[in-house]
Structure 1
Amino acid sequence: MEIKLRPYQLSDVDDFMEWVCDDQVIRTSRLRYYTSREEALDYLREVAIPHPWYRAICLEDRPIGFICVKPGSDYEICRGQISYALGSKYWNKGITTEAVKLVISSVFEEFPNMERLEGFANVEIKASQRVLEKAGFQKEEPYG
């Protein structure tokens, strides 16, 4: 199963709605539930498309999830944070791990000031922790 990462487009709204309205996805991510196509279009238009690194995880050019890198600003310019979500029917197939590895292979070139990429996983969601571990992230103890 070959995946590709690409910027979202407004024409992706129906595929976006398919996975972002999935109750399992909502329970395991920080995404909100979209009740209308117009709300989803607004999100794509105002958040996903203008974001410097918000990508659709695509299978056969259809978005089945997202992956995002938020670069740090000001005194944290050397850090970035990665987040992701995937439609539940694609879970446990290695797709998210592959997407994270694709990000790692290019994001440091695109953000030359970034020295560290951090991923945060809910302690109750073991699958997300495994994604990060399989992609080479190291678990750190909570700060403070």
Structure 2
Amino acid sequence: MKNLGTKTIETKRLILRKFTLSDAEDMYKNWASDDEVTKFLTWPSHSDVEVSRKVIDTWIKGYSDDKNYQWCIELKSTGEAIGSIGVVDYKENIKAVEIGYCIGRKYWNQGITSEALKALIEFFFEEVGVNRIESRHDPLNPNSGKVMLKCGLKYEGTRIKAGRNNTGICDVAMYGIINPKI
């Protein structure tokens, strides 16, 4: 693998880029403070913009590591930060990454998350040289799985009571895709 860190990637509607502290207001307003957005995530809704600022500050400090992959999803038409997508688990020994994402509720069901994930799949396969990309979701959140399927990941099974999110202990539906060129 050739780790490149969080480099800017453009799609038709999006700019996937490193977070800056100026994204804290958008992060808080658009997704991090919304209990409906964070319902199936492993971190609680942010109580105020300062929490968002601290999270972003941690991510910014991590950008010096070329194995760190954490993107802000910016909508080109408005310049607004509307979500995040990044590597939540890095398995160097098998050349694999697990990708997690979240996006503001007002942007759901518009193909935005799929557009971002497709761009990352291409980036990780073509430029980084990963062998496998995986993702997971709580089966009670089927729309997350639809994004994975739309992007070519295959359903690999459900692990019973194998995870925890803001709803408590949960099942975990697993998806994966293998680099066709390796």
> Could you state the TM-score of these two structures normalised by the residue count of structure 2?
0.71
Quick check: which one's helix share is greater? 1
Number of the residue aligned with 1:16: 27
**What corresponds to 1:39 in structure 2?**
51
Question: Which residue is 2:128 aligned to?
Answer: 111
Kindly report the root-mean-square deviation, in angstroms, between the aligned alpha carbons of the 2 structures: 2.1
Offset from partner CA, 1:16-42 (integer Å, 9 cap, x none): 111210121011322321112222111
The residue type paired with residue 32 of structure 2 is V
Give the number of aligned pairs.
142
Tell me the equivalent position of 1:57.
73
Deviations 1:65-117 (A, max 9, x none): 000024524534x11100000000110111111111011111234433x2100
Aligned pairs for 1:125-140 within 5 A: 125-140=141-156
Partner of 2:98: 81
Contact 2:33-2:48 within 8 A present in 1 as well: no
Q: Secondary structure in 1 aligned to 2:157?
A: coil
Structure 1 unpaired stretches of 5+: none
Indicate which of 92, 107, 116 corresponds to 1:90. 107
Distance of 1:27 and 1:116 partners within structure 2 = 27
Task: Select between 66-75 and 9-18 the one with higher mean Cα deviation.
Answer: 66-75
Kept after mapping to 1: 8 A contact 2:99/2:133 = yes
Does structure 2 conserve the Cα–Cα contact (< 8 Å) formed by 1:70 and 1:81?
A: yes
Counterpart in the other structure of 1:4: 15
- Contact 1:7–1:49 (CA<8 Å) still a contact in 2? no
Higher-strand-fraction structure: 2
In 1, the alpha carbon distance for the partners of 2:18 and 2:41 equals: 20
Give the gaps of 5 or more residues in structure 2. Answer: 1-11, 161-182
Match of 2:169 in 1: none
How many angstroms does 1:47 deviate by? 3.1
Amino acid across the alignment from 1:15: D
1:120 is paired with a residue whose SS is: strand
1:137 shift after superposition: 0.2
